[in-house]
Amino acid sequence: MIRRDQGRNRDAANEKRLADLWFAASVPLRHFNDNLANLCEYKRDYWSNPADWSGDDRINTAIKLDAMRERFEEIKRSVLTAFISKPAIQPRATKPKRTSAKAVLKSGKKKST
């Protein structure tokens, strides 16, 4: 992974793309975990304007990539655990077959109402 602190030049197009992707990730996460969605939005803010963020800011808001990965794994485990521990859906009781009026007339039996 190329890091800017290793003397690499900034690429505004890539940074905008990263900001857009972090925001896109935050939207569906809102349904599962507001905290993680907020962290994704912080990442968007960071990539939108990295000069406003110090290394300490990134650490204190837990938006360093390793911290984000840990959060995603926690959410994934909790969602999978909840899904796996759900009781199986019980099948519905089958309804008795209804006899059509046409079949009743053919058989000569009177249909009960």
> Which sequence spans correspond to the domains of the chain?
10-85
Q: Mean of the pLDDT values across residues 6-28?
A: 88
Choice between 73 and 3, residue whose per-residue pLDDT is larger: 73
Report whether 41 contacts 66 (CB < 8 A): no
What percent of the chain has a predicted confidence (pLDDT) above 90? 17
Summarize pLDDT for 35-64 with one digit per residue, the tens: 889 989 988 998 898 888 887 877 778 788
73-93: burial string, b at 16+ Cβ within 10 Å, e else: eeeeeeeeeeeeeeeeeeeee
Put simply, whether the predicted model's pTM sits higher than 0.75 gets the answer no
To 10 degrees, what angle do helices 34-48 and 12-29 make?
170
Q: How far apart are the first and last CA of the chain?
A: 75
Q: Find which of 24-28, 31-35, 108-112 is predicted with most confidence, using mean pLDDT.
A: 24-28
